[in-house]
Chain A
Amino acid sequence: MSLVEDLGAQVHGVAEELPLGPVTVAVERLRVGLELLQWVRQESVHDVGVVHLANATEQLEQATLALRSAQDSVAAYLTSIGLAYDAAPTADNSWRQGLAPPVPQQSTSDTDVDATPLGRWWTARVDAATGHEPDDRPVDEQDAAKDPADLLRRAAAPVRAGDRGRLRDELRRVDAPVGLGLSAVSPPVARHLATDLLGHEPTAADLPALTRQLAQPVRQLLPGVPEHVLPTLLARVCRMPPPQPEPPPENPQDGNARQAPPPTHPTDPAVTGAVLVGVLLHRLGRDPDSLRDAERRDA
């Protein structure tokens, strides 16, 4: 290997090791936290840190752009010194890190989450999202998924079968934090699967095609989820900003603007993300355990 090739390999290695994976994990976790705090703010009319966390999420998205820009600059440099082959981008594998269990933290009374009060809140919304009447029967927690990655795989089976009842059962018997964690793990996996479905990384131009292929099965399984939730998720899959809501129309009766829609319930993007991943796996003819296999390969 020549000196230039050796230098190219070193520089290329640095660009490939940039921490896009941990940043993707952090973005998704902060988004879930933000959705929860937005719901709290709606219920309590207190800020509870929403503005700070929204700023943090925005800052992190800028960090992601800066990291990608650094990779592009390194690629341009390698090309300029005649190592164009090294400049080709490698596949984005950051989705695998999202499926890995979170970094264990020392358990204290401050970090332990008592999920009990959220149980009814979670199950009631799952019932509504999946088009069922509220069911007050005790939840059978036996053999429930223990982490979001496990739940993501389990939910894929009823999605493949188009079985709304089984989907609801699988979702409602987990602890709320596990279910809400779907919001964090689903988007990167959905992007990875959409990349395989399309044969290239999804961009804005692919949004209409993905919507055509995926929207109907998702909505059939989740008839109670508001219309705007899936387009927002698909926009993220294509790395686009979420679609802007239409301005509320004037009410001709009294001339007053109609009330703006309430903020998204945190359960809705969680369950929609899981169903989206299930539909993508089905379209690709893949077994849900293929996600687990990918995790094992990385272990």
Chain B
Amino acid sequence: MASVAELKAAIDAAIQQVSEGQAALRAASEKLAEAQQSLAAALEGSGHESVAAAHAALSQAAMDLEECLIATLAAVDQAQTYVATL
């Protein structure tokens, strides 16, 4: 059976990993936004179905990244709330 100190330390370590993940997520979102703009500028006016598919995939990725970030924030919030009760 783990001690309270071990549980707290494990949660702190988890939050640290998630925070590093969030930093990488934010960097990924910024790069993705730049890529979307660059692609839109380069292929403006193209009606090619592969171009439409690429735009759609990038939009989906951007949405996934945003939802992922929101879910990590909720996870950290819940973990911190639990730590406060220990």
The count of chain B contact residues (Cβ–Cβ below 8 Å) is 59
Q: Kindly list chain A residues whose C-beta atoms are within 8 Å of the C-beta of B25.
A: 22-23, 26, 60
Indicate with 1 or 0, residue by residue over B18-32, a CB within 8 angstroms of chain A CB atoms: 111111110111011
Residue of A nearest to B54 (CB): A73
Q: Is the interface of A mostly helix, strand, loop or mixed?
A: helix
Total residues of chain A contacting the partner, CB 8 A: 66
A279-297 vs B, Cβ < 8 Å mask (1 yes, 0 no): 0000000000000000000
Give the Cβ gap from B86 to chain A, nearest Cβ, in Å: 8
B48 touches A56 (CB 8 A): no
Cross-chain contact of B64 among A7, A50, A59, A180 (Cβ < 8 A): A59
Known contacts A23-B24, A74-B50; A67/B57 CB under 8 A: yes
B42:A73 contact, CB within 8 angstroms:
no
Report A-chain residues with C-beta under 8 Å of the C-beta of B68.
26, 56-57, 59-60, 63
**Residue interface bits B41-66, CB-to-A below 8 A is 1, else 0:** 01100101011011001101100110
CB distance from B19 to the nearest CB of A (A): 6
The answer to whether B71 touches A103, judged by C-beta atoms less than 8 angstroms apart, is no
**A204 CB-CB contact with B under 8 Å:** no
Give complex CA distance A176, B10 in Å: 9
- Nearest CB of B to A269, in Å: 13
**When A55-B71, A60-B65, A67-B61 are in contact, do A33 and B21 touch as well, CB less than 8 Å?**
yes
Which A residues are in CB contact (< 8 Å) with B1?
43
**A-B pairs, 6 with minimum CB distance:** A49-B75, A29-B21, A63-B64, A56-B71, A52-B75, A117-B5
Sample 26 A-B pairs with CB under 8 A, ordered by A number: A7-B43, A11-B42, A17-B31, A17-B34, A18-B35, A26-B22, A29-B21, A36-B13, A37-B10, A44-B7, A44-B82, A49-B82, A53-B71, A56-B71, A59-B67, A63-B60, A63-B61, A67-B58, A67-B61, A73-B57, A77-B51, A80-B48, A111-B15, A117-B6, A121-B10, A176-B13
